[in-house]
Chain A
Amino acid sequence: MRRVIRIVASLVVVALLLLIPQVVGESINALWAQAVYIAVAAMGLNILTGYNGQISIGHGAFYGIGAYTSAILMENSGWQFLPTIPVVVGVALVAGAAFGFPALRLKGLYLALITLGLAAVFPDLINRFASKYGTGGTSLIQPPRVLAPGWADSFADFDDQYRYYMALTIAIVMAVLAANLVRGRYGRALVAVRDHESAASVLGINVARVKVSAFALSAAYAAVAGSLSVLIEGSANAGKIEVFQQSILFLVAVVIGGTATVAGPMVGAVIVVFVQDFAKDLIDDQPVLSPAIFGLVLIVMMYLLPDGLVGGARRLISRVLAKPEVGQPAIPDVSTH
């Protein structure tokens, strides 16, 4: 029964997401497109941080690796956008695993710190190595935009609608993969390692393999998000502040959506994008204040819903469902047997 509800709910959400470019204007559509790629990164981070308990504040770097791999392949080797995705996934899996191995030794804050170092060092490395591809010797790369082909005329009047659909399709595939992954054997292993490493190892789980693969997987998600950002925004860039902010943003999306829930990161991504946009326009003449409003919203949300929106909703639903009215016998649900 739960499974049916879940599938129906997912289909409804997908249908609504497909409708968005048809009913909203260009600027709102751009925000949704942004939410789509941030959601992909947040899904990946959720595998690592939510399910496996390894905090990372450096996934902006993997996101950057994805963005630059796609952008350079398109700009310099004349590739189409889609074929770059498998390459991006491959590169990020290797990079993530390479980073995950030393991370095996570290826990909690020490790990968070090292990942912070990754985010801090990445822009300098990119400046050094990617500036030969960028415009005017900078690390800004603007590959040719993806344009809507003729057959897409029936559903996409504009190129950005087409790009939104493309990003959304990839995001849905990634979401389904993530959902199946965390609900299966591997997901149990992730949670077991998070909750008690030694106990998990006694049960026969290869702790090292689980932790490193979680790192690699989450890096791949972040990198695909980076590629999608190139598709949507048309450029790859790695300023110091941006990489740091992206890393924080992913973590924020995971936590305010709900850690270790499948829907949480996606909900979180939408909220993060729209709250930021809302904060930007809230007070005229004071663009300085927008981070302040965003920050305050974050703090207030943590007070009200410490387990995130999805966690809070889940508590609410189980409270409504679990307690039948006094005096009225609970009817056993036979449909699941």
Chain B
Amino acid sequence: MTLFLQQLMNGIGNGVIYASVALALVLIYRTTGVLNFAQGEMALFSTYITWKLTDWGVGIVAAIFISMLIAFAMGALVELVLIRPVEKKPPFVVLIVTIGMFLALNSITQLVFGTDEKQLPSAFGDHSWSVGDVRITGEFVGLICVLALTCTLLWILLQKTKLGLGLRAVASNPESARLVGISSGTMLMIGWAISASLGALGGAMYVPTTPALTAGSLQAVLVYAFAAAALGGFDSPVGAVVGGLIVGVAEALAIEYIEPLHDITLLVPFLLIGVVLLYRPTGLFGRNIVERV
């Protein structure tokens, strides 16, 4: 039982991180219909900025906030400069542009920050408490609080503010949104900006749980976040969070309890998605798209 709870907690801990990157993916997908392949590498770049700031002596929490602000600006810039020119082109074209960004950003990161391994401190210190036999780390509690806070803020932003209404309007019907005077370009830019800062947050949460920060740090996370988004439904923020948690927990439990899967951990999320998608082809929370014939 102890082992089970411990694995469950590990799973939730990872799941929270997958969920936050998946949220970033979903935000972009909802507003622009683009699957952003470069999401992980954008987050990587921001995480390196966080590291650089701590290297200069800035506290880790402040560093994360500053890098989120920088990521916000960079996300807006990416939309404006790279995505907008191809916005009206077929989805393939946009996909290839994000793949190009993925390749370019990764190597630019290595060029700017060097190829050696870096250590990023955790924002939550290394406290831990024992409840019975189960050890609860400060990191675990912190991760859950951060995700809960992020979700609440996002929900308030999307549902309770005028800006959120604009974002939702553009996501649901860009043409009509423009007709009622919403600047869809600005909304898309803001969508990318928010998404980039969510990525920065996710990266800074994730990297301290790994041995070191390297150029490949966030590639696996991207795959898991894709999985989470697909599981929950690409157009559903709630789905992204639920999907992230399910993928994280399923992975942790499968590694522990299914011996033959020991070194094929990626199989678990994808088998799970495969099965779910067979029954719900647009994910657990995704909308069914009605097609006119």
Which A residues contact B (CB, under 8 angstroms)?
A: 55, 102, 105-110, 112-114, 116-118, 120-121, 124-125, 127-128, 196, 198-199, 202, 241, 248, 251-252, 255-256, 259, 286, 288-292, 294-299, 302-303, 306
Contact = CB atoms under 8 A, between A and B. Distances in A.
A290 B104 CA distance: 9
B259 interface: no
Chain A interface helix/strand/loop/mixed: helix
Interface in B18-60: 29, 35
B86 A306 contact: yes
Contact of B97 (A202, A248, A299): A299
Given A255-B93, A255-B95, 20 more contacts: A55-B92, A105-B281, A109-B29, A114-B273, A116-B223, A117-B269, A120-B223, A124-B266, A199-B293, A290-B107, A291-B106, A291-B107, A292-B104, A292-B108, A295-B99, A295-B107, A296-B100, A298-B99, A299-B100, A299-B101
Interface in B121-150: none
Give the most central of A124, A196, A198: most B CB within 10 Å.
A124
Contacts, number: 131
B293 A124 contact: no
Nearest to B224: A120
B216 to A, nearest CB: 8
23 contacts: A55-B92, A105-B277, A106-B281, A107-B281, A110-B283, A113-B227, A113-B229, A117-B269, A121-B266, A124-B264, A124-B266, A196-B293, A251-B96, A256-B96, A289-B111, A291-B104, A294-B100, A294-B104, A295-B100, A295-B107, A299-B104, A302-B86, A302-B100
Contacts of B29: 109
Contact of B107 (A110, A113, A289, A297): A289
Contacts of A291: 103-104, 106-107
B92 A255 contact: yes
B82 interface: yes
B99 A303 contact: no
A196 B266 CA distance: 34
B156 to A, nearest CB: 28
Given A110-B234, A117-B270, A306-B89, A288 B264 contact: no
Contacts of A248: 99
Contacts of B230: 109-110, 113-114
Contacts of A125: 264, 267
B5 to A, nearest CB: 27
Contacts of A241: 216
Given A113-B226, A117-B269, A198-B291, A128 B104 contact: no
6 smallest beta-carbon distances between A and B, as pairs: A295-B104, A117-B270, A295-B103, A298-B100, A295-B100, A299-B100
B250 to A, nearest CB: 13
A102 B265 CA distance: 21
A288 B223 CA distance: 23
B90 interface: yes
B278 A102 contact: yes
Nearest to A248: B99
Contact of A110 (B91, B264, B281, B293): B281
Contact of A295 (B92, B102, B267, B269): B102
A74 to B, nearest CB: 26
Interface in B265-293: 265-267, 269-270, 273-274, 277-278, 281-283, 291, 293
B269 to A, nearest CB: 7
B115 interface: yes
- Judged by DSSP, the binding face of B is helix
B176 interface: no
A128 B101 contact: no
A114 B89 CA distance: 24
B101 A121 contact: no
Nearest to B112: A288
B82, B93, B106: which has the most chain A beta carbons within 10 Å?
Answer: B93
Contacts of B281: 105-107, 110
A266 to B, nearest CB: 18
B263 interface: yes
A55 to B, nearest CB: 8
A259 B274 CA distance: 27
Nearest to B270: A117
Contact of A286 (B95, B111, B229): B111
B96 A109 contact: no
Quick one: which of A117, A121, A289, A303 has the most chain B CB within 10 A? A117
Nearest to B215: A288
A256 B226 CA distance: 25
B92 A259 contact: yes
B173 interface: no
A296 B107 CA distance: 11
Contacts of A303: 85-86
B63 to A, nearest CB: 25
A29 B101 CA distance: 30
Contacts of B92: 55, 255, 259
Interface string B247-265: 0000000000000000111
A1 B244 CA distance: 58
B159 interface: no
B93 to A, nearest CB: 5
Tell me which of A107, A120, A303 has the highest count of chain B C-beta atoms within 10 A of its own C-beta.
Answer: A120
Contact of A113 (B90, B99, B273, B291): B273
A124 B104 CA distance: 27
B110 interface: yes
A121 B90 CA distance: 29
Contacts of B274: 102, 114, 117
